[in-house]
Structure 1
Amino acid sequence: MQHTVSTKTLLKASASATLVAIVALITFILPAEYNIDPTGIGQELGLTVLAAASATETPNESAQAGSDEYQVIEVIVPAGQGVEYKFNLQQYDKMTYEWLTDGPSLYFDLHGEPQGDTTGYFESYAIATLSGMKGSFTAPFAGSHGWYWKNKSDKPIAVQLMVKGQYEVIGLKQ
């Protein structure tokens, strides 16, 4: 007995399969592989941790210096606290960046401290309270440059920081 499937049935099946694939992509694959979680379900299921772990679990020497490709760094800002993440840049080195949080906005200060300075001087380039920012800057002097983020909420907030350019990673500054 031969069974034929109508074109209408095939179109319905194809549309259903496409819809299931889109839902799986948005709900599971993007959060787990790329730490992109438009629905928030990935974080609830713990999938965003997988993307963060894969981005940070295999550091090597070449990943610690700037390049033409974005380096992805995850920084956790504890509840009610602030952290500083820094890079060493020479005068006129350029860094392109983008950062975003997985939750509420953070107070931040993008600033630099001159190399060898013992007076405590620093120069701020941007100060605001935002959940993300994108841009670039050219170091006006040699020294450490980076972000201070302050979390005023009662839960830790993850910052995904993407950078490229001419720099050496200093990392979290205590």
Structure 2
Amino acid sequence: MQHLIDLTTLIKATLIAVLIAAIALVTLILPAEYNIDPTGVGQKLGLTLLADAAETTTSPPQPEIVSADPEQVVEVTVPAGEGIEYKFRMNQHDKLFYEWITDGEPLYFDLHGEPEGDTTGYFESYAIATLDSMEGSFTAPFTGSHGWYWKNTSTKPVAIQLIVNGQYQIIGL
């Protein structure tokens, strides 16, 4: 019988704690952190002003939106026996979704990045292979230029269709 009373007390205490946490979430945390105020209490207490101030002072700069279309298609041709680079400027932690495909011929490539402001020539490779297509996503480990170097070892030009979506500014060739 003693254990039953302790279990009942524990359940009541847990339910009371959950109720208090839910009330605090709706009336204090959501208005102060996210400017979501379903009850209006946050505005009366001035908490929504905290969310507004935090939003304007701590948000990292966003990259320029290149187009209203979330997906962008770029056509690039790599001349026979030559190599080219195609780059994007990205802030640290920005994400790029990509897919590229050649018109049939595989190309050597190096997906890499160079830190902004670096004068030493440092770059970091993320993927190196010889393929005729690739798709995936990439999160920039640092602010700078990120993209592909493609080398065509064949005797004819190779066309690449690059499809991208994410947070970036095009630098291009």
Structure 1 runs, 4 residues or longer, greater than 4 Å off: none
Report the alpha carbon displacement of residue 65 of structure 1 after superposing the two structures with TM. 2.0
**C-alpha separation in 1, matches of 2:97 and 2:67:** 10
Counting aligned pairs with the same residue, the percent is: 70
Which residue does the alignment assign to 2:38? none
Question: Which whole-Å deviations, capped at 9, do the CAs of 1:12-52 have from their partners, x for residues lacking one?
Answer: xxxxxxxxxxxxxxxxxxxxxxxxxxxxxxxxxxxxxxxxx
Which residue does the alignment assign to 2:128? 127
**C-alpha separation in 2, matches of 1:157 and 1:131:** 10
TM-score of the superposed pair, with normalisation by structure 1: 0.61
* Structure 1 residues 1-174: aligned runs within 5 Å: 65=66, 69-172=70-173
**C-alpha separation in 1, matches of 2:65 and 2:160:** 18
Q: Secondary structure of the equivalent of 1:140?
A: coil
Q: Which runs of 5+ in 2 are unaligned?
A: 1-63
The higher radius of gyration belongs to 2
The 8 Å contact of residues 66 and 168 in structure 1, kept in 2 or not, is answered as: no
The 8 Å contact of residues 110 and 150 in structure 2, kept in 1 or not, is answered as: yes
Report the alpha carbon displacement of residue 68 of structure 1 after superposing the two structures with TM. 6.7
**C-alpha separation in 2, matches of 1:129 and 1:69:** 28
Report the alpha carbon displacement of residue 67 of structure 1 after superposing the two structures with TM. 6.5
CA RMSD of aligned residues (A): 1.6
The count of aligned residue pairs is: 110
Question: Which whole-Å deviations, capped at 9, do the CAs of 1:89-134 have from their partners, x for residues lacking one?
Answer: 0000000000000021000000000000000000001000000000
